[in-house]
Chain A
Amino acid sequence: MTRRAPGNGAAEGLTLAAALVAFLIGPLPVLVAAGDALLAPGEAWNALADPLLWRRTLSSAAITAAVLALALPAGLLAAWVLARTDVPWPRAWTALLALSLFLPPLVHAISWVSAWRLSGFGAILLVHGVVATPFVALLAMRSLASVSRAQHDTLRLLGGTRAVLLGELRHAWPGASAGAALAAAFVLSDFTTADFLTSVGPKITVAADSIYAHHLGLRSGAAAAAGLPAALAVLAGLALAARDLLRRGSSIRARFEPAPRLELGRARMPVLLGLALLAGAASVAPFASLALSAGSPAAVVRAALKNLDSITFTFATAAASATLGVALATILLALAPRLSRAALFVLACVPLAASPLTSGIGLIRVWNQPELAWAYTGATVVICATAGRYLLIGALPVADGMARIDAGLVDAARLAGAARLAAFGSILEPLLRPAILVGWCLAFAFALRETDAFVMLRAGQSALASRLYANVVFAREDELAALALVFALVCATPLLVLSATHGLRGSRA
């Protein structure tokens, strides 16, 4: 009879429990929503056969393609400059770029409308572009952090600086493609940004408009079906990015020697100018224009005080959601066998690939039960909504950090007598801590800035994003900019945490 090691049973039990909770908060609502489409096949088929849905889906796809065409080259180049050259103040530039990612697209949109009255396709492109570029840049920077001195020297000997640039950009590709796939997930499923930016002038409708229209018409099967084409496209993109990410090698060993930074020389001034333009459009401009449009500091303070309950609710639910999501992701990634990690990746992709409106419909169907009223009307459903949806966002840095850790370090711990949980606690977790912090801050930031899913949920109306959207819908322009600035400041908090703890330095974990 096979004898089992003490500790292994506990590890397997913990993994199973974590997988179950992850499934309950993640894919289950989406699958329940999809189940509506299966239960009403006629309704779902009519939705899918509707030419209007395909026109709107094509419109979303065109916006996404245009955004990625801008964000991929800009993000890759910014990443290489920040991670691999001697550009001055790399941390400050990185923080400014990241700030843009931490602001909800709706806040970006409000800032550009307030200051410049921008609207239409160009404005949509700009707003999504300034959010997508840091997605690409930050993830590509993490890929570039694993370039070793030996790899750098080999490239230099083969073909000088040109070979270094081309070779290292290829090295950055796994991160960049993951960033692009994630950005695409948000742009394809966007609802509120396009709605707001084309509220004046010719209306541009997107795929999410069809989902919302069916939801308002109480056709939940049709709503789920309408979200299917975009969700499948996002899943395909995430699968391609995962394939690239899983190919990487480990770089966390006792003796990893990072590649030296290249001197910019005469290119320094043009590079600085380019970074200033990018960071200015992405982060400085939104804050400046919102501050100008808000009127006085007193107006901002008034808006903050008036919405103090909402700020507290938003902070608390986002922190709980990030903690739940990242803890689940870390346990699952650390303790599940290598083979089941692919299945876990798919599990985490499902809620992100689905439109937030579809997720919202699923959450209503799962939680709006008489016996679950306590959860549906309170913070629980909000925490589950964002913890499930952003499981992947919190898990990616952890998975990335884990892929960089030489498997031999854990093997050495096992041979030294450590059970799996002990090896995790003493070796893996301390080495992963920076990655866990980054994952937590990202999950926290995305939970803070969530807007579309909260529009669907009754309990989500207490969140700051919903208050802001209500101001947009009811055209309360007197306090729109002030509240958007308050929201922007709230959303910048995780970035401050990351900067204070050096999490954005491109460290080896």
Chain B
Amino acid sequence: MSAPSPAGLAVRELGVRLGSRQVLSAVSFDVNPGEHVVIMGPSGAGKSTLLRAIAGLIAPVAGSIQWEGASWSSGHDLRVPPERRGIGMIAQDLALWPHLTVREHALTTLRWRGFALDERAAEAERLLAWVGLAGLAESRPSQLSGGEAQRLALVRAMAGGTRLLLLDEPFTALDLPLRRALGRESAAIARERGATVLHVTHDPADAERLASRVLVLEAGHLVQFGTVGALRARPATEFTQALFAGSS
């Protein structure tokens, strides 16, 4: 594991309970600025819960989360609410707002991100053009194809200078070529903007192509964290071994 990094994300002894179930136990790791960390693990390992705890959408029961040296949460205390963490997140079902058009998604997010009124329209046009949605500005989410909806979710997640992007299996519902293309695009966009990415996926190919490091969770515990090469060379568990078996 790398040394504590005041410039990036530092998670220490994180514990999360959902109802009576301990979902995460004593999870500690650091992520450097601009890194693309892929999070893997069997279903129910606590991957999505980890992202939601980092986002501030659920309160941990123990441990701490720091971003660039500032404390986001400590024990039960959510010291910075989700809206003030400057995080972008794309969930599996995208959670696009059904009553807003593509342009309104961008404008609303920019308003909440603190953009001045006279800057919003131009920035929204720029963002939509950037992901190829300028021609669909008046469409609602239900009128978009799978790939277009993913791009809109990416616009919302990255609008306003997001520095930490959380991807929770966002491309699972798409066909393989599109999934890989969007994965590449998102990673490139995040890299271009200097954003740090935490990316939950079940696809080892995502780890091979995108990850600077891979974090493996099993039953709420962090079991391994390192580069793909290191994990392949010295898998800590059968799950990790099976993940990279057959790939080279």
Contact = CB atoms under 8 A, between A and B. Distances in A.
A206 B80 CA distance: 58
A414 B98 contact: no
Interface residues of A, number: 27
B90 to A, nearest CB: 9
A456 to B, nearest CB: 44
Interface stretch (B24-32, B105-113, B188-196): B105-113
A509 to B, nearest CB: 10
Nearest to A252: B98
Interface in B49-98: 55-57, 77-89, 91, 93-98
Interface-centre pick from B83, B84, B86 (highest chain A CB count, 10 A): B83
A416 B79 contact: no
Interface string A399-410: 000000010110
A419 to B, nearest CB: 6
Contact of A427 (B80, B97, B142, B160): B97
Contacts of A413: 97, 112
Contacts of A3: 79-80
A406 B112 contact: no
A508 to B, nearest CB: 9
B112 A416 contact: yes
Nearest to A430: B99
Nearest to B58: A411
Contact of A411 (B57, B84, B96, B140): B57
B61 to A, nearest CB: 16
B87 A431 contact: no
Interface in A253-282: 253-256
B112 A254 contact: no
Contact of A412 (B56, B80, B99, B156): B156
B79 A2 contact: yes
B141 interface: yes
Nearest to A419: B83
Given A411-B95, A415-B88, A255 B142 contact: yes
A254 B144 CA distance: 10
B91 A408 contact: yes
Contacts of B159: 416
Interface string A291-329: 000000000000000000000000000000000000000
A343 interface: no
A39 interface: no
A426 B111 CA distance: 11
A418 interface: yes
B154 to A, nearest CB: 13
Contacts of B112: 413, 416-418, 422
A260 B112 CA distance: 38
A139 B41 CA distance: 42
Given A254-B142, A426-B108, A415 B98 contact: no
Contacts of A430: 99
Given A5-B81, A415-B87, A416-B109, A253 B156 contact: no
B114 interface: yes
A234 to B, nearest CB: 30
A145 B178 CA distance: 33
B113 A406 contact: no
Contact of A253 (B84, B93, B113, B140): B93
A8 interface: yes
Given A5-B83, A255-B141, A417 B109 contact: yes
Given A408-B91, A415-B55, A254 B83 contact: no
A314 B80 CA distance: 49
Contacts of B197: none
A7 to B, nearest CB: 8
Nearest to B84: A5
A253 B96 CA distance: 7
A418 B57 CA distance: 13
Contacts of A427: 97
Interface string A422-439: 110011001100000000
Nearest to B141: A254
Interface in A359-415: 406, 408-409, 411-415
A2 B93 contact: no
A412 B100 CA distance: 13
A414 B97 contact: no
Contacts of B81: 5, 8, 414, 419
A62 B236 CA distance: 68
Contacts of A255: 93, 141-142, 149
B83 A414 contact: yes
B186 to A, nearest CB: 16
Nearest to A414: B82
Nearest to A256: B98
B79 A412 contact: no
B59 to A, nearest CB: 11
Contact of A254 (B56, B82, B86, B149): B149
A251 to B, nearest CB: 11
Contacts of A419: 81, 83
A253 B57 contact: no
Q: Counting chain A CB atoms within 10 Å of each CB, which of B81, B88, B95, B140 scores highest?
A: B95
From B99, B141, B142, residue with most partner A Cβ within 10 Å: B99
A408 B51 CA distance: 13
A411 B141 contact: no
Nearest to A426: B108
Interface string B152-188: 0000100110000000000000000000000000000
Contacts of B99: 430-431
A430 B98 CA distance: 10
Contact of A415 (B83, B97, B108, B142): B83
A82 to B, nearest CB: 24
Contacts of B55: 411, 415
Contacts of B85: 415
A468 B162 CA distance: 65
A494 B55 CA distance: 44
Contacts of A5: 80-81, 83-84
Interface of A: 2-3, 5, 8, 252-256, 406, 408-409, 411-419, 422-423, 426-427, 430-431
17 contacts: A2-B77, A3-B79, A5-B83, A254-B94, A254-B95, A254-B96, A254-B141, A408-B93, A409-B98, A411-B91, A413-B97, A415-B89, A416-B83, A417-B83, A418-B112, A426-B108, A431-B99
Given A5-B83, A414-B83, A416-B156, 20 more contacts: A3-B80, A8-B81, A253-B95, A254-B140, A255-B93, A408-B91, A408-B93, A412-B89, A412-B91, A412-B97, A415-B55, A415-B82, A415-B85, A415-B88, A415-B89, A416-B83, A417-B83, A417-B86, A422-B112, A431-B99
